[in-house]
Amino acid sequence: MSNEKYLDPDRVARVTARAPSNDTLRWVADWFGTLGDPTRAPLLHALSVDELCVGDLALLLALSQSAVSHQLRLLRHRRIVATRRVGKHVYYRLHDEHVASILQLAIAHADETPGHGAAASQTTRQRRRS
């Protein structure tokens, strides 16, 4: 253990008192890692608008049904998406409002970040017109 003293022990005590468990932090890191795949971002965005079946997601995202099914299986295992069966069709949706909120916040953050999101798309469109 170090003999160093904290610069602000009150702040350190507040942070320590509110710290989640290491297991929780590992789960959060794994969960965000699952979101970090570039194939999954457009899939999740589509599901944030409405529930869709594998075939519609595959057509919408120009992916094979097998690729979409694989991604959905991973997302379902992590409780990021949920399903609803209607006859022979299985519809996928975001698991809950927490997932939708996190996705919306990430998109809003990207839109506000120079070189990313809506600002970057607008710049790209302007360059194409020139």
Which residues are registered as beta bridge partners of 23?
none
Same domain, 124 and 77: no
Cα 24 to Cα 58, 66, 84: the distances in Å are 33, 32, 28
Residue 4 lies in a domain: no
The reply to whether 2 falls in a domain is no
Number of domains in the chain: 2
pLDDT of residue 127 exceeding 90, the answer is: no
Q: Residue 38: inside a domain, yes or no?
A: yes
The answer to whether residue 13 is domain-embedded is: yes
In a domain, 72, yes or no: yes
State the pLDDT confidence band at 4, using cuts at 50, 70 and 90.
Answer: confident
- Same domain? For 64 and 114 the reply is no
Q: Are residues 81 and 19 in the same domain?
A: yes
User: Helix axis angle, 117-129 relative to 97-112, nearest 10°?
Assistant: 50
CB 76 within 8 A of CB 83: yes
What is the residue range of 54's domain?
A: 9-95
Q: Which two tokens stand for residue 1?
A: 């253990």
If asked whether residues 42 and 62 sit together in one domain, one would say yes
Mark whether 101 and 89 lie in a shared domain: no
Which one, of 60, 62, 99, lies nearest residue 80 by Cα?
Answer: 99
> Per residue in 48-99, pLDDT tens?
999 999 999 999 999 999 999 999 999 999 999 999 999 999 999 999 999 9
